[in-house]
Amino acid sequence: MSTIGAYFRLVRVGWVLVREGVVSALPTQDMPPSIGLLKSLAEPFARIRAKRQARSTRLSRAVDRLGPSYVKIGQFLATRPDVVGVDWALDLSMLQDRMSFFPTDMAKTAVELSLGRTIADLYSEFGEPIAAASIAQVHPAYVDGRKVAVKVVRPGVRQRFAHDIESMYLLARMQERFMPSSRRLRPVEVTRTLEQTTKVEMDLRLEAAALSEIAENTKNDPGFRVPIVDWERTGRDVITMEWIDGIKLSDMEALRAAGHDLDRLAETLIQSFLRHTLRDGFFHADMHPGNLFVDAAGTIVAVDMGIVGRLGKKERRFLAEILYGFIIRDYRRVAEVHFEAGYVPAHHDVASFAQAIRAIGEPIHGQPAETISMARLLALLFEVTDLFEMQTRPELILLQKTMVVVEGVSRMLNPRFNMWKAAEPVVGDWIRDNLGPKRIATDLKDGVKAAMKLAEALPEIAAKTEKLHHEVVHMSEHGLRFDPQSAEAIGRSEARHTRSGRVALWIIALSLVYLAVAIS
């Protein structure tokens, strides 16, 4: 029945996208002929006003009709230009995560259930909501005369998202089945990532932990900080943190009026992001202007840590070597790094890949640094990786997307901002420490640690190997057999999927007939 429900929800989503003119705005270049046929069939059913609107406006209206879950899905897909394309990612990034408020009484109940204490016991004052998004809304409150921000999860959002993500899985599986060329992008894996990141975002204890970790990492960094978490008043459905009195980074008139140096703010922002990425391997992945404030001291304060990214040592070295290779125009080395990391399949030719990388890098040299667009570089890289069957790397895509956003904010503050010059002190120090002689000492130390762990695990490995050997010998002598319960369970599962699939197809057909009759 859940599969049938997912088909019904997909029919509704498709209908809303058709009516709001989103389907008729789909690109047809390099797409299967079926996309062109779908566009022509959908065109007569689009609202007349939708046909006159920009694509981003059509998207916004469609997502608003579909509900909070689809706002979150759209925002997530905005972080995956490799999946939806750079232009659509930019349109999706404009989705406004502004929802209607839910009643304060419901918020208070959610807080009390999450923390096991009464509102009167927790706060001396609890105000009306001031901001609401798809996942949660924010209330001002007071604790012993100290103003705090209380973020409360929207009631019912988990159940709604669980239903909607089921439809996304169904769509992803259909995409992999009927569009073989899309398998490189791993749509099911992308959906799984969406599910995981949103579940993390809906557990406010994890956002609190992210704030705490960033605060610890940046305690000695100049010009950047995050709000302090009140752990006593934080749970799964509520997070209480320091209230930030500041100016949004997007309000440039107010920043100038307050006497802040916009050029310095732009430099601090990009350097802070690079420190978090390269030094810590942990970064705020939603650094749009609405999540960035400047306090009275001129310090940038980042809020809303629902989306964060992590990079391992391997990915950080990969990123640094790629960057360094572009800077010194060593495209062969850039290509080799892709192959060494296993990002490009080994059957491709390194020299041919280096040639493609050169086509990206050479146009950069000779241009003023402030005119080089990271978004344009990103688009070119995706085209090249598509040609060479490079598997999607979610952690790198999230990093690249965040870098584009941070660059955009910095250039909003200073239109002639030289990102490369501002980045050099941070990137240069990291490269010298991690790609020079210090790297050898670090690698030796890591190697010794790994060898010690392996030595400790040897007895357990030997025992498991012996057990596996006995099982293989037994299997070779007696064959592989299922116990009766397993065989019966497999049969029931197959029958259920076949039956539900047939029923779902009939329901879709009847739904389409009904819609056609209703429209006519």
Closest CA relative to residue 106, chosen from 123, 129, 124: 129
State how far Cα 366 lies from the chain centre: 34
Please state the φ and ψ torsions of residue 148, each to the nearest 5 degrees. Answer: -135, 165
Please give the Cα distance from 271 to 277 (Å, whole number).
Answer: 10
CA-based angle 229:232:236, to the nearest 5?
A: 80
**Burial category of 130 from C-beta neighbours within 10 Å (exposed 0-12, middle 13-18, buried 19 and up):** exposed
Beta strands in 243-386 (DSSP E): 247-248, 282-284, 292-294, 300-302, 308-310
Closest CA relative to residue 269, chosen from 413, 428, 396: 413
Residue 286 annotated as catalytic: yes
- CB 138, CB 306: distance < 8 Å: no
Name the pairing type of β-strands 300-302 and 282-284. unpaired
Please state the φ and ψ torsions of residue 146, each to the nearest 5 degrees. Answer: -100, 125
- CB 191, CB 165: distance < 8 Å: yes
Task: Output the CA–CA distances (angstroms, integers) from residue 286 to 75, 138, 420, in the order listed.
Answer: 10, 18, 21
Name the pairing type of β-strands 136-143 and 224-225. unpaired
Catalytic hit among 91, 97, 237, 286: 286
Report the 10 Å Cβ neighbour count for 106: 15
Please give the Cα distance from 286 to 465 (Å, whole number).
Answer: 46
Active site (catalytic) residues: 286
